[in-house]
Amino acid sequence: MSVTTAIETLTREQYLQRQYTGAAGPTSAIENSAVLDRWRAEFPDWRGKYWAFTADDRDVLRLRPINVVAAQPAAPAA
């Protein structure tokens, strides 16, 4: 089993698409705080707000912590 400590970072649009299909969500949807505590210890760069199912090196979907890029303000109209 490979150990990965890198956090996947999604754009807001990527996150919303995965959330729509049920493949991502906020950490408030995870009731087991032991999972969140373990993620905080294993992934120091994780911001602690979101999770997603991500494929591992064998294309098996695993529940993992993710970061989401903050939404950028819209550019003013010219």
Query: What is the rounded average pLDDT for all residues in the chain?
Result: 88
Per-residue pLDDT at 75 exceeds 80: no
How far is it, in rounded angstroms, from Cα 16 to Cα 13? Answer: 5
- Strand, coil or helix: what is 58? coil
Q: Burial code of 35-61, b = ≥16 C-beta within 10 A, e = fewer?
A: ebeebeeebeebeeebbbbbeeeeeee
Read off the pLDDT of residues 1-18 as tens digits, 9 standing for 90 and up: 445 568 999 999 999 999
How far is it, in rounded angstroms, from Cα 60 to Cα 20? Answer: 20
